[in-house]
Amino acid sequence: MVTTVEAASHAARFLEQPKRMLVDGAWVDSRHGRTLEVYDPALGEVIDHVPAGDAEDVDLAVAAARRAFEDSEWSRMTASDRGRIIWRVGDLILKHADELAEIESMDNGKPVSVARAADVPLAADLFHYMAGFATKIHGQTFPISVPYAPGAQFHAYTLKEPVGVVGQIVPWNFPLLMAAWKLGPALATGCTVVLKPAEQTPLSALRLAELMLEAGLPNGVLNVITGFGETAGAALAGHPGVDKVAFTGSTEVGKLIVKAAANDLKRVTIELGGKSPNVVFADADLETAIPGAANAIFFNHGQCCAAGSRLYIEQNVYDEVLAGVSDYAEKIKLGRGLDPDTEMGPLVSVEQLERVTGFLEAGEREGVRTVTGGKQVGEHGYFVAPTVLDGAGPGNRVFDEEIFGPVVTAIPFSDTAEVAAAANETIYGLAAGIWTTDLTKAHRLIPQLKAGTVWVNTYNIFDAALPFGGYKQSGWGREMGEEVIHEYTETKSVCIGL
């Protein structure tokens, strides 16, 4: 079999160069010289090394970001010039789309065709969308009345100011896209950033940083510290020089971030886990709903915070939909991400493989029926068969907990009231799906679902204009759209006596 570097023809130059972190515009090793290994999850082989940055490196990066925020070319730059740089980042991502797709595929394991069609263009689009916002961030004026100052006149208005130095911690499931979701609004608002990619997938963030410098981003505005969550991530989340932390990852670590940030009451936005209900009514167009429900869970190997992992099917079409989704699952072509025919790659890491197969074993012990899949595939790499489970319910781990793998549990229901209550029976509230041809039914159910996104007759549709985030323990705040701009700005009220 060809090695990863040979297979990744567009990314070969980047792969062969030594990897360093970006601090204050310079590419540096970690202060202690330690590195961490980067794996190709399809082969289980080490393909690269990146610096293992820790608290000392975070200190330097935060100091650089602070200098760039307080008094620099960046802080004095016009909104229009800032927007032009952000736009150029989008252009450069598109120019290097094949290379970025390969990097993403070999680092994360996802099919290169999916990275090229979804992750990379969505990342570019986010920068293009946010570039436009740079010139449209403004306050308001207010005709204030002030009852205790009769006859006085005032000019009152608000200013929207960047929140400051932002620590951004991103996960491994969409490494480039999650970095884009966070960097775009931070730069549009004039913040400066220290970014920590996940230890499993640090490569695309480093290539993106190169492109951002090429786009004209001044030194210190973006700093990238590669390293482990417990060291580099924790140091960033608790750093007194950081004004805001933006995190995407597990609910468990999200709670640690909140605790770390509580010390000096930093601003926090967190986008966390999910156990999203996907509801198929009997009146749905099953030709669309069946592949739609399968894609809702199997897209990105189920390593998707919004994955439709609880599939509620109306009783009288239960057998048909269960069989259809299982049939779809069995036809998915598993393989190495860099193989152009691959439809589903491996899970990202051996830890994730053990986690997902651990859930499957727990399901089996608890008497949950495996309709298809249910096991690891092959001897190399971290592949798990697309899996459909039947007969799970509250109290079963596969039903209650986020698995974050290609595993869906199917559950029958008999009416709308029952499914609305069941859908909300989770600590999470990230997303939900509804499949029906009855729009009245859909519109009545939408407000009952405690979820940040509801998809109707579609699933996994993301756009730079559409806010994304969770209710309940799925997080605080929203990414994307105009809403995210508020997460990166402070509002200053100004009142001038005339």
Which residue from 236, 234, 238 is spatially nearest to 263, judged by alpha carbons? 238
Which residue from 397, 398, 372, 472 is spatially nearest to 432, judged by alpha carbons? 472
Which residue from 312, 317, 325 is spatially nearest to 420, judged by alpha carbons? 312
Q: Which of residues 252-271 bind ligand NDP (CB under 6 A)?
A: 253, 256-257, 271
> Is the CB of residue 331 less than 8 Å from the CB of residue 425?
no
Task: Mark out the alpha helices in 162-311 (DSSP H runs).
Answer: 175-189, 203-214, 234-237, 251-262, 286-298
Q: Does 234 bind ligand NDP (CB under 6 A)?
A: yes
Q: Does 228 bind ligand NDP (CB under 6 A)?
A: yes
Stretch that binds ligand NDP, among 18-26, 250-258, 293-301, 311-319 (CB under 6 A): 250-258
Q: Does 198 bind ligand NDP (CB under 6 A)?
A: yes
Nearer CB in complex with ligand NDP: 404/435: 404
> Is the CB of residue 258 less than 8 Å from the CB of residue 268?
yes
Cα distances (angstroms) measured from residue 244 to each of 14, 158, 185, 239, 464: 31, 21, 13, 10, 21
Q: Does 480 bind ligand NDP (CB under 6 A)?
A: no
Please tell me which residue in 191, 199, 304, 305 is annotated as part of the active site: 305
Q: Does 119 bind ligand NDP (CB under 6 A)?
A: no
Nearer CB in complex with ligand NDP: 222/256: 256
Active site residue 271: yes
Q: Rounded distance, CA 174 to CA 198, Å?
A: 10
Using only C-alpha atoms, the chain has a radius of gyration, in whole angstroms, of 23
> Which residue among 109, 273, 292, 412 contacts ligand NDP (CB under 6 A)?
273
Which residue from 15, 350, 31, 64 is spatially nearest to 195, judged by alpha carbons? 64
User: What's the half-sphere exposure (Cβ side, CA atoms, 13 Å) at 130?
Assistant: 34
Cα distances (angstroms) measured from residue 233 to each of 25, 254, 262, 355: 20, 11, 15, 22
> Which residue among 4, 105, 173, 192 contacts ligand NDP (CB under 6 A)?
173
Question: To the nearest whole angstrom, how small is the minimum distance from the Cβ of residue 62 to ligand NDP?
Answer: 14
Active site residue 199: no
Q: Which of residues 375-414 bind ligand NDP (CB under 6 A)?
A: 402, 404
Q: Which of residues 277-306 bind ligand NDP (CB under 6 A)?
A: 305
Neighbours of 206 (CB within 10 A): 23
> Which residue among 83, 185, 229, 277 contacts ligand NDP (CB under 6 A)?
229
Q: Which of residues 432-461 bind ligand NDP (CB under 6 A)?
A: none
Question: To the nearest whole angstrom, how small is the minimum distance from the Cβ of residue 68 to ligand NDP?
Answer: 23
> Which residue among 199, 243, 390, 479 contacts ligand NDP (CB under 6 A)?
199
Please tell me which residue in 102, 199, 271, 402 is annotated as part of the active site: 271
Q: Does 54 bind ligand NDP (CB under 6 A)?
A: no
Give catalytic residue positions.
271, 305
